[in-house]
């Protein structure tokens, strides 16, 4: 076998499952000097990477090259920590799995991932799941959020994954794309993948009764080929996403709705916090920008710190 291109489906310690263009799946190690190249990230090769494979001995495969990533999604190792891990790369579409209850997803969580998607121009959709469990109050909350995000331009879907008919309507959104499903533990990411790929049997876990939280069933990302074309990445439940290489001055440009106003701020360097003549703050006060989105913006602005952790 000569050199062959492939795509990384799974990373397990020092071993990587790679799908070759001829459809074969092989387990590979990493060429020694490649491992050292990028020591700033905890994981040199990630799910979604396009790689070159060499068969160095019969049945022994080595990754010799990693193609430049067109994008990647990162998570924080711990809340507020400066340690990041790449979850997956080369994504076409992100689905944020949101639940109002069991567990409760905060808007700030949604907005962090949307910001990264925006920075890389990755298409983003929101799936509000578990409507079968929603109280009247939960429904009102879902409706309000749905209105906010729809108005900004993010397609929103409201479903119960227990209802096959509703899930069928989601299926077509995945065809021929590399999609990533992300969300807190227990929101139903693996459940959705079990619908999309019959027979895959991803482990799903009941929600803890005491805390209404997920139990971290999925522990590492895996990219799964879809029967009708395309791939989907199942990810572990995440506490907090990292922001990809975004400076404070850029940040507001990744809140789509702020772009309508930010050029009208009095100062070019306006960060929209307390500057006079800030058109963004005025739009918030007039109800043209959702308060929750502005709060997410402020929390990202103040939590990221001046010295950005940069990855490339």
Ligand X SMILES: Nc1nc2c(ncn2[C@@H]2O[C@H](COP(=O)(O)OP(=O)(O)OP(=O)(O)O)[C@@H](O)[C@H]2O)c(=O)[nH]1
Q: What does the binding site for ligand X look like in residue numbers (CB under 6 A)?
A: 129-130, 132-133, 160-162, 183, 185-191, 204-207, 214, 216-218, 236-237
Q: Which does 191 bind (CB under 5 to 8 A by kind): Mg ion, ligand X, Zn ion, none?
A: ligand X
- The residue range among 31-39, 189-197, 279-287, 288-296 that interacts with Mg ion, by the rule CB under 5 A, is 189-197
Please give the angle made by the CA atoms of 90, 92 and 94, to the nearest 5 degrees: 105
Closer to ligand X by CB, 177 or 202: give it: 202
The nearer residue to ligand X, 191 or 252, going by C-beta atoms, is 191
Run of H or E residues at 109: helix 107-119
Residue 218 interacting with Mg ion (CB under 5 A): yes
SS (H, E, C) 124-185: EEEEEECHHHCCHHHHHHHHHHHHHHHHHCCCEEECCCCCHHHHHHHHHHHCCCEEEEEECC
Distance, CA of 263 to CA of 191 (rounded, Å): 43
296 binds, among ligand X, Mg ion, Zn ion, none (CB under 5 to 8 A by kind): none
Q: How far is the CB of 205 from ligand X (least distance, A)?
A: 5
Half-sphere exposure of 149 (CA within 13 A, CB side): 24
Q: Considering beta carbons, is residue 66 or 96 the nearer one to ligand X?
A: 96
Residue among 109 and 297 whose Cβ is closer to Zn ion: 297
Number of H helices, E strands in the chain: 8, 13
SS (H, E, C) 4-39: EEEEEEEEECCEEEEEECCCCEEEEEECHHHHHHCC
153: left (phi over 0), alpha (psi -120 to 50) or beta: left
In 114-138, which positions are buried (b, 16+ CB within 10 angstroms) versus exposed (e)? Answer: bbbbbbbebebbbbbbbbeebeeeb
Element (H, E) at 63: strand 60-66
Residue 162 contact, options Mg ion, ligand X, Zn ion, none, Cβ 5-8 Å cut-off depending on partner type: ligand X
Determine if 76 is a binding residue for Zn ion (CB under 5 A): no
Decide which of ligand X, Mg ion, Zn ion, none touches 280; Cβ closer than 5 to 8 Å per partner kind. Answer: Zn ion
Question: Which lies closer to Mg ion via its Cβ, residue 217 or residue 300?
Answer: 217
Residue 191, interface with Mg ion (CB under 5 A)?
no
CB 220 within 8 A of CB 12: yes
Q: How far is the CB of 148 from ligand X (least distance, A)?
A: 22
Listed ranges 44-52, 83-91, 217-225, 297-305: which one lies at the site for Mg ion (CB under 5 A): 217-225
Please, which residue, 9 or 280, has the CB nearer to Zn ion?
A: 280
> What is the C-alpha to C-alpha distance for residues 117 and 134, in angstroms, rounded to an integer?
28
Nearer to Mg ion, 125 or 189 (CB): 189
Shortest spacing between CB 33 and Mg ion, in angstroms: 35
Q: Which listed residue (190, 194, 221, 296) binds Mg ion by CB under 5 A?
A: 190
Applying CB under 5 A, the residues found at the interface with Zn ion are: 265, 270, 272, 278, 280
């Amino acid at each position: 076998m000569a050199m062959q291109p492939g795509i990384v489906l799974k990373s397990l310690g020092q071993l990587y499952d790679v799908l070759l263009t001829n459809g074969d799946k092989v387990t590979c190690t990493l060429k020694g000097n490649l491992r050292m190249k990028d020591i700033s990230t905890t994981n040199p090769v990630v799910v979604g990477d396009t790689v070159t494979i060499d068969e160095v001995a019969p049945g022994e495969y080595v990754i010799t090259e990693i193609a430049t990533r067109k994008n990647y999604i990162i998570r924080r190792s711990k809340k507020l920590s400066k340690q990041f891990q790449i979850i997956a790369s080369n994504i076409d579409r992100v689905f944020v799995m949101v639940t109002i209850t069991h567990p409760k997803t905060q808007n700030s969580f949604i907005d962090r991932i949307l910001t990264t998607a925006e920075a890389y121009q990755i298409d983003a959709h929101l799936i509000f799941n578990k409507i079968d469990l929603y109280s009247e109050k939960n429904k009102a909350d879902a409706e309000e959020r749905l209105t906010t995000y729809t108005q900004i331009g993010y397609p929103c879907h409201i479903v119960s994954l227990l209802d096959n008919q509703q899930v069928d309507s989601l299926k077509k959104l995945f065809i021929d794309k590399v999609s990533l499903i992300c969300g807190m533990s227990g929101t139903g990411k693996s459940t959705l993948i079990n619908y999309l790929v019959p027979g895959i049997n991803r482990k799903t876990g009941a929600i803890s009764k005491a805390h209404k939280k997920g139990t971290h069933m999925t522990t590492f990302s895996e990219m799964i080929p879809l029967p009708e074309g395309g791939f989907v990445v199942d990810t572990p439940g995440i506490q907090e996403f990292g922001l990809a290489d975004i400076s404070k001055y850029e940040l507001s440009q990744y809140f789509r709705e702020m772009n309508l106003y930010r050029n009208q701020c009095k100062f070019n360097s306006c960060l929209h916090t307390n500057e006079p003549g800030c058109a963004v703050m005025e739009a918030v006060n007039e109800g043209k920008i959702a308060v929750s989105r502005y709060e997410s913006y402020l929390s990202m602005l103040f939590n990221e710190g001046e010295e950005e952790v940069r990855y490339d």
